[in-house]
A = this chain, B = another copy of it.
Amino acid sequence: MFTYTRKANYYETDKMGIIHHSNYIRWMEEARIEFMDQLGFGYAKVEELGIVSPVAGITINYKHPVRFGDIVDINVKISRYSGVVQEISYEITNRTTGLLAATATSKHCYMKDGTVINLKHVLPELDSIFSASFHADSD
């Protein structure tokens, strides 16, 4: 589990006076990327190896709004991992209000030269890191 913290920006608000829901998807990406950095294998390094990790799916449930200037804590963990499919789970808490802002998941695969790959075979170093993190958080 990793917690990524950031502040809600003015340009992320909408006319309802709250953070527009589409921005949470971007915050999830920020959190995921910081998480990978912290695991010791940054996403930039993955891409340098010619591997990309498109998002295959997202689910998100919005609970309580976030407003301009609020601090959010995003808990990230690998909730499913097989070498081929990876699911990341997120819990976004509004530290300013103390309320749960959203829960979400994102599903990812890894691709090289247009083909889905199994990290176990193609990038065992990253596979070990993901496996270890997954097992640590699923206990």
CB-based contact A57/B54 at 8 Å: no
Known: A25-B22, A52-B16. Is A62-B68 also a contact (CB below 8 A)?
Answer: no
A26-67 interface bits toward B, Cβ cutoff 8 Å, 1 = contact, 0 = none: 100110010000000011100100001011111111100100
**Partner pick for A43 among B10, B25, B43, CB 8 A cutoff:** B10
CB-based contact B56/A69 at 8 Å: no
Chain B residues near A68 (CB, 8 Å)? 15, 44
Chain B residues near A55 (CB, 8 Å)? 21, 62
Instruction: Give chain B nearest CB distance to A56 CB in angstroms.
Output: 6
**Partner pick for A42 among B18, B44, B69, CB 8 A cutoff:** B69
Instruction: Give chain B nearest CB distance to A75 CB in angstroms.
Output: 19
Chain B residues near A21 (CB, 8 Å)? 25, 54-55, 58
